[in-house]
A and B are shown apart, each in its own frame.
Chain A
Amino acid sequence: MIDLWAEAQKIFTRYPPDRRRSALLPLLHLAQERDGYVTKGGIDEIAGLVGISSAEVRGVASYYHMLKLQPKGRRVVSVCHNMACTMLGAEGIVSSLEGHLGIAAGETTPDGWVTLERAECLAACDLAPMLQIDYNEMVGPLTSESVVQVIEGLRGDGIAPERAPEAEPPPLVDSIELTAEDRALLHEDDPGRATARDDEEWE
């Protein structure tokens, strides 16, 4: 289990003392690794560590492709569809995977195993057409057939889809005692607006 507080103390030493905010991306990476995605709780924790508002943290996290604010699959498969890969058949790779997994690019399999996404150039055009697994391993050159084997090859990894689906993600608003006034402020009737509170400064 990643101890975000302890990691933060180490990360802060890499930047000038009055520049704790530089630790934001490293901490967001760690929080995502710990929780599976960037959760509301993770955002609040980081905001507290860095000393800025949760809204600021969320604003940064939502900018970067690799940070997910919604639950993602246990494996993320990113298929490059940029210039070199397109010239060598990236669309065939995407449709082959969509057919095999039964989902469209941008979606996660119902069992929570794989999130399939289209990606812009991943800087491995010598492998085109290629894909990347979990923003780490690069695989290519692929064909519409071989890519299915690549995905099936992931099944022996111990986090295969035979497992029970993960528990429901935690609710957006943490369970705290709320007054009627709070509830009105939080627009409880409209959960999409329930994060409005983030916009206020932390201190």
Chain B
Amino acid sequence: MPETRVVSKRFREHADDSFTIDRYLATGGYEGLRRALGEYTPDELVELVQASGLRGRGGAGFPTGQKWSLMPKDVSPRYVVVNGDEGEPCTFKDREIIERDPHAVIEGALIAAYAVRAEAAYIYLRGEFGLGFRRLDRAVAEAAERGFVGEGIAGGDFSCPVVIHRGAGSYEAGEETALLDSLEGYRAQPRLKPPFFPAVKGLFHQPTALNNVETVANLPQLVMNGTDWFRSWGTEKSPGTRIFSVSGRVDRPGNYEMSLGVPLPDLLDLAGGIRGGKSFKAVIFGASAPWVTDPEITLDFEAAAAAGSMLGSGSVIVMDETSCAVRMAYVTARFFNHESCGKCTPCREGTWWQSKLLERLERGEGRAEDVDVLTDVCDSMSDPQLPYAPKGNCFCPLGDGAAWAVRSAVQLFPDEFRAHVELGGCPFEPERAEERAAVA
């Protein structure tokens, strides 16, 4: 099955200059914004997005229109903030959109700003995106020259500046309330919800529409083509397309846009299949998501939830038979330990214990009871009861995610954990191939 290119269409077809305003305008750019300003009232626009069923592409999958409708109408000023702090391991779609189609992000942000009557739009960009920052910065200047950003947009009476705010290296800044703290000049640590739901008390404690880069990049075409067009892809509850970042042990890792709800094998075909003809072991939808071993799973929010996982931010990390589950769990825990902001105890201490225990197991210095201790640590970070939703042990979902991922590794591959203890080392080290065969 070929790709379904909607959001990625422009930058795939015009890879050389898709980021320039001339190419953008020549391929229908800023038409969505013109139509939104000319033919819709702000409320009609919110209704359009609600009717389209567009769900946030950042990770939680919350319906975008509903998010906007929760903003109190009588409080001003109001803001739009675009979350471009893409940090979820092995997600790299937002970076590609920002680098190759920065105007689509600006246009989407402005459509959102008009819909929620925002005073300004801020694009929070991950600090490490050097090229993305330069491209976006130039794009804002170009768009302002042509009258699409700033005072009297497209000759009308709607005005909205677009500000790019560059982060400085923090995964936690991708969490929406931590992002706002970072944007306000503090350490990127999460805020208590309630009362600090961004829609109600967001940036500068004002109502804020906070959306992911890919989410807003969908808006220009949604306004141009309408909800029926948008719903022609995806499922009833997960309409539209999605850019999946495929990585790990596949032949051609990369971003591939497909209709939501396609089966995983179709996506893996696009990515060239598993490297060296090895066999599939598991797929991980971002570091926080519980692992999935079903090779036929369909890629939509509902199917992922039914499989005891979540679709997350669109990352599809493929493990094959040569990938060690303990090592991947260790890398995951080490990551969360590194990125834990330290605000709450279960996460700050829990990720440390996870990381230390898993490092010891992977080195072959673990004891049999370490696996139970590990499970216990996970349970104290996030209640093991289904469904997967933040349980309130930790302040924000970072701790829950660390617990879900590690717990799922232990549950899905108990034999591998045991083998590490029994062998006194990682059975996946090449020189241990024979011992591995003996244990398995």
Interface contact A64-B185, CB-CB below 8 Å: no
Chain B residues whose CB sits within 8 angstroms of the CB of A121 once the complex forms: 87-91, 287, 335
Q: Kindly report which residue of chain B lies nearest to residue A62, judged by CB atoms.
A: B187
Q: How many residues of B contact A (CB 8 A)?
A: 54
Interface contact A123-B95, CB-CB below 8 Å: yes
**A50 shortest CB reach to chain B, Å:** 7
Q: Mark B178-190, 1 if CB is under 8 A from A, else 0.
A: 0000111111100
Interface contact A63-B284, CB-CB below 8 Å: no
Query: In whole angstroms, what is the CA distance A127 to B249 when docked?
Result: 12
Q: How many residues of A contact B (CB 8 A)?
A: 40
Q: Mark B233-276, 1 if CB is under 8 A from A, else 0.
A: 00000000000010111000111000000000000000000000
Query: In whole angstroms, what is the CA distance A121 to B86 when docked?
Result: 10
- Whether B323 sits at the interface, judged by CB under 8 Å, is yes
- Whether A86 sits at the interface, judged by CB under 8 Å, is yes
Query: In whole angstroms, what is the CA distance A87 to B88 when docked?
Result: 17
Binds A, one of B17-25, B161-169, B376-384: B161-169
Interface contact B182-A25, CB-CB below 8 Å: yes
Interface contact B323-A14, CB-CB below 8 Å: no
Interface contact B166-A88, CB-CB below 8 Å: no
Given A28-B168, A64-B167, A84-B317, are A123 and B185 also a contact pair (CB < 8 Å)? no
Task: List residues 84-111 of chain A with CB under 8 A from any CB of chain B.
Answer: 84, 86-88
- Whether B48 sits at the interface, judged by CB under 8 Å, is no
* Total A-B Cβ pairs within 8 A: 139
**A148 shortest CB reach to chain B, Å:** 22
Interface contact A63-B327, CB-CB below 8 Å: no
Query: In whole angstroms, what is the CA distance A88 to B252 when docked?
Result: 13
Chain A residues whose CB sits within 8 angstroms of the CB of B373 once the complex forms: none
Interface contact A23-B188, CB-CB below 8 Å: no
Query: In whole angstroms, what is the CA distance A124 to B86 when docked?
Result: 11
- Whether B3 sits at the interface, judged by CB under 8 Å, is no
Interface contact A83-B331, CB-CB below 8 Å: yes
**B336 shortest CB reach to chain A, Å:** 9
**A199 shortest CB reach to chain B, Å:** 16
Binds A, one of B59-67, B122-130, B412-420: B122-130
User: Which 3 pairs across A and B sit closest by C-beta, in order of nearness?
Assistant: A65-B169, A136-B130, A125-B247
Q: Which B residues are closer than 8 A to A by beta carbons? A: 77, 86-92, 94-95, 126-131, 161, 163, 165-171, 182-188, 204, 245, 247-249, 253-255, 284, 287, 315, 317, 319, 323, 327-328, 331-332, 335, 338-339, 341
Interface CB pairs A-B, < 8 A, 10: A25-B185, A50-B185, A82-B90, A83-B90, A83-B335, A86-B328, A121-B287, A125-B248, A128-B253, A136-B130
